[in-house]
Structure 1
Amino acid sequence: MTSSATVGHRRPATGPWLFYGPRGARPDTRASRQGTSAHGALPQAVLFDRDGTLVADVPYNGDPARVTPMPGAPEAVAALRSLGIPVGVVSNQSGVARGVLTHRQVESVRQRVDAIFGPFAVWAVCPHGPRDGCGCRKPAPGLVLAACDRLGASPEHTVVIGDIGSDIAAARAAGARGVLVPTRATRPAEITAADETAADLIDAVRLVLGRSPGGRR
């Protein structure tokens, strides 16, 4: 099995695009339900924003060659997988609605990210623009809820990690836990409004697992 293989995807007219892992099977979340951290049960799933969180933010990127992982991101994802915690991606891609990205380009970039990190269990992608009135574009909860449904995880036992306020607002709207990892694109007001922050993705994962000295609770 190659990490870039797509074994299932669907493109609803009004909902998110979903891409998922080998054989289209639902990952087994029993390991994360049974495990514990310093603060209790491990999350049933962890969902990452793509641009600015997992990989460097290249506006409307449709070129796999321009995909660069953020510092510590592969290690952070690997740490969660080592504990049996399913990981997924929730990403706004309004470039599709704006006519500057195609489904093929979104898929090509997804394949490149999966090649770098290993295949994510689910991708939930919003192809709509800010004025389309969909329920999936962050800060709406649709991407988080769709990913949780695919993974068989309850939102209240799911963590969303992102770099801007809409990531955290989507988590909050879905009933999930949100952890903000600020970058230069993060506004000061978004940092102030976040319930939990982390210096980088490694620190975010430690916070999720109850092991981080940083962040706010």
Structure 2
Amino acid sequence: MRKAVFLDKDGTLVHDVPYNVDPQRIRLCEGVPEALARLKAEGYLLVMISNQAGVARGYFEEQALEGVKETLQRALQPYKAGLDAFYYCPHHPEGIVPVYTQACACRKPQPGMLLQAAKDLGIDLAASWMIGDILHDVEAGNKAGCRTILIDNGNETEWVMNPDREPTHVVKAFKEVVSCILQEAKQTAK
């Protein structure tokens, strides 16, 4: 079994531009490439887990997400920090595109994308992490059996708490993620 770091996209890896699929507007957040390179060097798979309700809402076609994936891979490649997999949920119960307008098990805070990635890639969820900027990310990771890190960068506005929404760690910036993960890995190895 392999270990992974599951990564939210908008507001976590890239600056949050709502419903953006324009490669010209995709910008990595500060410290992300270096942190991902370090995690990859430590043997973690890097797996994108992203809600993409813009598909269900009719803002863009599902195939536009392929360009997003390619843009991220190009940006991360010089750091040897490319994503190992890219999972997204195109659904939303209030969508306007009938095939995508539904409640589903993959849309965060549900753990469906993480569970599917674990099955597809042979990932040990208990040895893995979910990183995100809102409590829906934390909840999905906790429900899947991962440890979780909330990047408290101001994007979480509701702060509705319950046991599923309690992160393992809270940090202010992505660059702090690596030390949390590696410190816990060291303690677990003892």
2:56 aligns with one of 84, 94, 97:
97
How many Å separate the matches in 2 of 1:67 and 1:117? Answer: 12
Given the two structures, how large is their TM-score scaled by the length of structure 2?
0.83
Are 2:79 and 1:106 aligned?
A: no
Over 3 Å counting, the alpha-carbon distance change for 1:128 and 1:121 in structure 2 is: same
Contact 1:138 1:170 in 2 (8 A): yes
Identical amino acids, percent of aligned pairs: 35
SS at match of 1:120: coil
Aligned position for 1:69: 28
Over 3 Å counting, the alpha-carbon distance change for 1:154 and 1:193 in structure 2 is: closer
Aligned position for 2:176: 203
Are 2:111 and 1:138 aligned?
A: no
**Aligned-pair CA distance for 1:185:** 1.3
One-letter amino acid matched to 1:121: D
The count of aligned residue pairs is: 170
User: Deviation string for 1:56-92 (max 9, x for gaps)?
Assistant: 1111112011000001011110011112211110000
How many Å separate the matches in 2 of 1:174 and 1:107? Answer: 26
How many Å separate the matches in 1 of 2:126 and 2:41? Answer: 22
RMSD: 1.9
Aligned position for 1:178: 148
Are 2:90 and 1:127 aligned?
A: yes
Q: More helix per residue: 1 or 2?
A: 2
User: Deviation string for 1:113-163 (max 9, x for gaps)?
Assistant: 111113311111000014511100000000111122222112122100000
**Aligned-pair CA distance for 1:182:** 1.3
Residues 1-217 of structure 1 aligned to structure 2 (within 5 Å): 29=2, 44-118=3-77, 119-131=82-94, 132-187=102-157, 189=159, 193-210=166-183
How many Å separate the matches in 2 of 1:190 and 1:147? Answer: 27
Contact 1:94 1:130 in 2 (8 A): no
**Aligned-pair CA distance for 1:203:** 0.7
